[in-house]
Structure 1
Amino acid sequence: MPMDRRECWSHGRRTGILACPCLFFVQTPRRRGRTKMTRGKKRFLVGLVVLIIGVVAAIKIYRRLPSRALLVLDVGGPIDEQRPVGGQPVAARSATLLHDLTDAIDTARDDSRITGLVVKIAPLGAGWGKVQELRAHLLEFRKSKKPNICYLGEDFSGNREYYLATACDQVWLVPTAALGVTGLLSQSLFVRGTLDRLKIYPDLYHIAEYKTAANLFTEKRYTAAHREMAESLLRSALEQYVSGVAQARHLDRAQLDSLLQRGPYLAAEALSHHFVDRLAYWDEVHKVFEEKNGEWRPVSLSRYLKEVKNDGAAKLAVVHATGTIETGNSGWSLFDGFVMGSDTVAADLRRAREDDDVKAIILRVDSPGGSAVASEIIRREVDLARAKKPVVISMSDVAGSGGYWISMSGSKILAEPTTLTGSIGVVFGKFNLAGLYDLLGLSTDHLTTSENATLFWNQQNFSAAQREQVLRFMQDIYANFTKGVAEGRKMSVEAVDKIGKGRVWTGAQARELGLVDEVGDFSRALAAAKELAKIDAKTKVRLERFPKEAPWWKRWLNQEESQANALQGITSELRRLARAPQSFQVRMPDLAIR
């Protein structure tokens, strides 16, 4: 190939030998001719570029929030504090997060593009604490003077649904629906009769008389202490319910008490008693905002969350502690739902503690308790973190027994007035399955090298000596529990024991007893964390949440794996239930108020 030009290695020039200051050259071949781009190719490339620009612009326009938009929230079903960790059913993965709802409401309040709010309320799968927190944010939205409607469009809206709806300026009800405003009901399940039929004996023990978690298995109805505690909780919850509704609906307290005794009500009756403001269908909601805004421009929660900002000059960590407490990693249980693994939560607290950019930690607790050992592992990390930076405890629906254990060392503890907390006590025991085996024609034989080798054996009750040893261990755990509460709350052990004994309290009651510092929601806990970290109240902060949620594509890839492991998970759960419990439990009793 003929060579008539030289190219500089370092400067990339094709030039004469003396034209470049660099003396390193290589000969390059002469180009015989350049391929010219045809007019058709040019048109194609120009068209492709225009198409790409158009698609990008269209996506941006589509994502842009329209002016005079309306935020429409569908609130119903389960409302969770966090996404489940590990394999879980589709329903759990798709549940609404409480902080998504509250963040959207708070952002919309000050967003000039949002002209109003409509909340469609369906049967709620959340406890009173979460409902109370969500309601507080709706009440704050009212201060914006933007129109807001809570719409009850189900067959029968109960106490919790109506309590939430009263946070809106306007409560609308479908003309053919009933309003289930009635007195509250406290209910506990007992399975002792079932166990008797199956010849299963629950050899369970508890400290002390109000520690009624084992009553689910050992009793057929309320004991005197259980009834006393349930009545106290019911009265406290009713006070929150009635006072909140009376204030929001401008009803006389005595009149409301009387009306609740006679509920439920037909739609027309609910309107005449001023429980609701209007009987209307969904299309009439459309019409109101069409007249106001010129057209119906709804924005859903998932769409509006893209407008919610999480930025600020300072960073705070939010560590979620949700579910039954067990040793190991967090996950999902077929029977218990969320499982709070001590290793997972302890690691999250450790990461937040070691991050110098994190100025304070908020431990968000929603747990009925569980393993005493697992609870202490988490509490230890709270204690270590508190030595370096403030740790504020924010309680959700429930933070009792082990849920309170992990909270007691916090710098400050806040709970909703209806949060169920306390339950300072211990439960332990096993199920004797010998009768069931006999009923099924099964038999076992055994050999031992010591009397206590049968301690966890499911074919006999504890012997007298074993029972004495079990109670000794339980007393030791109770002593550690009450001592930890006394140190954390600056109380005497005797004072803690007096309000302990396994008794459950509402957040409002716990505040009076000194078990929590304030009644308040997550927003107040955030403000308290800023105060303790010496961050100006007006300074915006960025929240880093733990555990960190996996990206959507990873969650999608895990769906098939979760479904494939479903049967294996059921088998594992049944095996776990069949085994004798080998951990001392600090767990709350079964108790539902509705």
Structure 2
Amino acid sequence: MAVKKGRLFLLLLLVAAVGLIIAGTLGQAVPDKTVLELTLASPIAEEDWPDFGARFWEGDVVVFRDLLAALDRAKRDDRIAGISLEVSSNAGMNFGKMQELRAKLGELTAAGKFCTAYLEEGSNVTYYLASACPEIYLTPTSALTLTGLMGHTTFVRGTLDKLHIYPDLYHIAEYKTAMNLLTEKKFTAAHKEMVTDLVTGWQQQLVAGIAAGRKLEPAAVEQILRGGPYLAEEALAKKLIDKLLYYDQYRDLLKSKAGGDKLNTLGLKEYLTRSRAPRGPKIALVHATGAIVTGKSGYDPAIGRYMGSDTVAEALRAARKDDSVKAIVFRVDSGGGSAIASEIIRREVVLAREKKPVVVSMSDVAGSGGYWIAMSANKIVADPGTLTGSIGVVFGKLNIKGFYEMLGLSKDYVALAPNATLFYEFENFSPEQRALMMKFMRDIYDHFLDGVSKGRGLPVEKVDSIGKGRVYLGARAKELGLVDELGGLDRAVAVAKQLANIPAEQSVQFVVYPRPKTPFQQLTEWMQVRTVGWVPPRAWLDPTRSPLWKERALVLVPFELEPR
């Protein structure tokens, strides 16, 4: 009996200690007149890394939803006087995320908080982010490199020719130019037309955002972009900057604006720890990030983070079966990948939709396979600058016979059927194989068109006419009916609440899938994998280890655009 009492006492002591730790963490009050400091330097991502290897290779990231959550709490927190945004880069964000962040900063200003931005130096995109704040400050000896946007692509056909590697690749349709990086040495007419339209659209959004933030006419901003870059004094004279300040002077300014006896600041993580997340009905937030492959999600140094159809399908399945979850927000940030994997994920979206509302929130990119997995949702919400569409297919192989011969190597084979060599990488497709391959590609494309038609309520003929592999910005996609509404994650949640009959003013809480893992869990799993199936370092250089290597039919966005 004494032993049992002793154990009970120790258990109660442990519970009390944990409670004190939690209470102490939450109880560390946010001081009145605090400034929330957001420094955009570390990479910003939709999710934390999927495993320890990725974290070790890439370093830590800031999770985008945490950034939005902190700003949302600060908007309602009387202890937060204002926001200081220090922008040294766009932190890997493209126009989608940048527009969501700008919108959230605008909400803070509307709520009566001050919002200031500090630039050590400014580029097109860092200034675009900063212009969401009513006040912008720049280091006196710096410059503002507003020069307008450009789009460029690296083609490797010349390199393949030197290596005697032939890209035997094919596509449907003319704007599906993903293979052009391997088959061409410069833009084709269709490729150039598409990139020009996208960069032009982005620049129009850039101009509109800067004009609204600085209370300038769009035509004046266009002229400014044509005349840049600018010295600090020139930027000040053109009213692009409110004042030139060194960092210590900027800190003094923050203290004055906050109105306290001393400057109280909190960073993102510390503020999230000290403040409370909203409570209410549960909405599942299911992430689909990176290239789409069959199997499980993971990380590869060659292609970065990738989503596995098994992992994402299981996440959607878990959210569907959880009766406490009232709706699903499916957050997509992917340029596509495997057609088979995309269809496996889409099927789970259909099954989930039969039980509860599914609303897609498109991030920076949701094109090709990224659009495929989204097309069957109840509603699709995209940012104006999201890259989406790209309804088309790429199929083929690289013939490396010439490369082997250059090295003095040779191959020979025995084939027992005409198509046994279909995926043999030492000869091109025969005419009969090419016809067979085109038949399979056409079948995938027709399935894509049919899925878009049923999911978006559009005639197949119209989908075909606006498809053809063409990439669109979110704003144009809405006009075409590929997207239902414009907005970010917040808007997608609002739509999900409406479909789930949750009052608009009611707070909700996210249940995140796939479930995030702590760094310790990632390390433990990584060590277990290395113990069971250790991969020698020389195997890391084998391109066939890439998850995309085994995928034959690809639905991929034809390029990667990053604004600067």
TM (norm. structure 1) is 0.87
* Residue 353 (structure 2) pairs with residue 386 (structure 1): yes
Over 3 Å counting, the alpha-carbon distance change for 1:314 and 1:174 in structure 2 is same
Match 1:477 to one of 423, 434, 444? 444
TM-superposed CA distance for 1:144, in Å, is 2.3
- 3-state DSSP class of the match of 2:41? strand
Match 2:269 to one of 299, 302, 327? 302
Mark the structure with the bigger radius of gyration.
Answer: 1
Over 3 Å counting, the alpha-carbon distance change for 1:519 and 1:62 in structure 2 is closer
Match of 1:12 in 2: none
Q: In the alignment, is the contact (CA less than 8 A) between 2:293 and 2:547 conserved in 1? A: no
Letter in 2 for 1:401: S
Match of 2:13 in 1: none
* Residue 92 (structure 2) pairs with residue 123 (structure 1): no
TM-superposed CA distance for 1:578, in Å, is 12
Q: In the alignment, is the contact (CA less than 8 A) between 2:25 and 2:273 conserved in 1? A: no
Pick which of 106-115 and 554-563 moved more.
Answer: 554-563
Counterparts of 1:61 and 1:446 in 2: how far apart (Å)?
68
Match 2:218 to one of 241, 250, 253? 253
Over 3 Å counting, the alpha-carbon distance change for 1:183 and 1:562 in structure 2 is farther
Match of 1:589 in 2: 558
Match of 1:238 in 2: 203
- 3-state DSSP class of the match of 1:399? strand
TM-superposed CA distance for 1:566, in Å, is 8.5
Over 3 Å counting, the alpha-carbon distance change for 1:561 and 1:298 in structure 2 is farther
Counterparts of 2:299 and 2:547 in 1: how far apart (Å)?
18
Over 3 Å counting, the alpha-carbon distance change for 1:233 and 1:162 in structure 2 is same
TM-superposed CA distance for 1:290, in Å, is 2.8
Counterparts of 1:453-532 in structure 2, within 5 Å, are 453-532=420-499
Pick which of 102-111 and 201-210 moved more.
Answer: 102-111
Letter in 2 for 1:88: A
Match of 1:19 in 2: none
- 3-state DSSP class of the match of 1:476? helix
Match of 1:144 in 2: 111
Give structure 1 stretches of 5+ with no counterpart: 1-8, 10-51
Match 2:373 to one of 406, 409, 413? 406
Counterparts of 1:294 and 1:527 in 2: how far apart (Å)?
40
Counterparts of 1:61 and 1:578 in 2: how far apart (Å)?
42
Counterparts of 2:144 and 2:539 in 1: how far apart (Å)?
39
Match 2:322 to one of 326, 345, 355? 355
Deviations 1:342-396 (CA, angstroms, capped at 9, x unpaired): 0000000001101111110000000000000000000000000101110000000
Match of 1:97 in 2: 63
* Residue 79 (structure 2) pairs with residue 110 (structure 1): no
Letter in 2 for 1:460: E
Counterparts of 1:62-101 in structure 2, within 5 Å, are 63-86=28-51, 87-90=53-56, 92=58, 94-101=60-67
Counterparts of 2:139 and 2:463 in 1: how far apart (Å)?
50
Q: In the alignment, is the contact (CA less than 8 A) between 1:334 and 1:569 conserved in 2? A: no
Match of 2:182 in 1: 217
Letter in 1 for 2:139: V
Over 3 Å counting, the alpha-carbon distance change for 1:313 and 1:222 in structure 2 is same
Q: In the alignment, is the contact (CA less than 8 A) between 2:25 and 2:274 conserved in 1? A: no
Match 1:198 to one of 136, 141, 163? 163
- 3-state DSSP class of the match of 1:205? strand
Identity %: 47
Deviations 1:87-107 (CA, angstroms, capped at 9, x unpaired): 314364511111111111111
Counterparts of 1:322 and 1:471 in 2: how far apart (Å)?
29
Deviations 1:561-583 (CA, angstroms, capped at 9, x unpaired): 79997865962652336997552
Letter in 1 for 2:33: R
Which has the bigger relative contact order, CA under 8 A and spacing at least 6?
2
Letter in 2 for 1:283: D
TM-superposed CA distance for 1:557, in Å, is 4.3
Counterparts of 2:293 and 2:374 in 1: how far apart (Å)?
16
Q: In the alignment, is the contact (CA less than 8 A) between 2:26 and 2:273 conserved in 1? A: no
Over 3 Å counting, the alpha-carbon distance change for 1:380 and 1:194 in structure 2 is same
Number of residue pairs aligned between Structure 1 and Structure 2: 542
Match of 2:194 in 1: 229
TM-superposed CA distance for 1:559, in Å, is 7.0
- 3-state DSSP class of the match of 2:88? strand
Match of 1:174 in 2: 139
Over 3 Å counting, the alpha-carbon distance change for 1:441 and 1:298 in structure 2 is same
Counterparts of 1:313 and 1:581 in 2: how far apart (Å)?
44
Match of 1:48 in 2: none
Structure 1's consecutive aligned runs of 4 or more residues displaced over 6 angstroms after TM superposition are 55-58, 559-567
Over 3 Å counting, the alpha-carbon distance change for 1:236 and 1:442 in structure 2 is same
Q: In the alignment, is the contact (CA less than 8 A) between 2:30 and 2:79 conserved in 1? A: yes
Letter in 2 for 1:182: T
Q: In the alignment, is the contact (CA less than 8 A) between 1:103 and 1:308 conserved in 2? A: no
Counterparts of 2:548 and 2:271 in 1: how far apart (Å)?
47
Match of 1:542 in 2: 509
Counterparts of 2:22 and 2:104 in 1: how far apart (Å)?
35
Q: In the alignment, is the contact (CA less than 8 A) between 2:41 and 2:88 conserved in 1? A: yes
Q: CA RMSD in A?
A: 2.4
TM-superposed CA distance for 1:472, in Å, is 0.5
Over 3 Å counting, the alpha-carbon distance change for 1:408 and 1:284 in structure 2 is same
Give structure 2 stretches of 5+ with no counterpart: 2-16
- 3-state DSSP class of the match of 1:116? strand
Counterparts of 2:21 and 2:391 in 1: how far apart (Å)?
58
Q: In the alignment, is the contact (CA less than 8 A) between 2:38 and 2:85 conserved in 1? A: yes
TM-superposed CA distance for 1:341, in Å, is 0.3
Letter in 2 for 1:302: K
Over 3 Å counting, the alpha-carbon distance change for 1:200 and 1:536 in structure 2 is same
Letter in 1 for 2:232: A
Pick which of 378-387 and 105-114 moved more.
Answer: 105-114
- 3-state DSSP class of the match of 2:233? helix
Counterparts of 1:460 and 1:579 in 2: how far apart (Å)?
21
Counterparts of 1:483 and 1:57 in 2: how far apart (Å)?
52
Counterparts of 1:368 and 1:60 in 2: how far apart (Å)?
40
TM (norm. structure 2) is 0.92
Q: In the alignment, is the contact (CA less than 8 A) between 2:140 and 2:245 conserved in 1? A: yes
TM-superposed CA distance for 1:146, in Å, is 2.1
TM-superposed CA distance for 1:314, in Å, is 1.0
Letter in 1 for 2:178: A
TM-superposed CA distance for 1:325, in Å, is 0.2
Over 3 Å counting, the alpha-carbon distance change for 1:566 and 1:530 in structure 2 is farther
Match of 1:336 in 2: 303
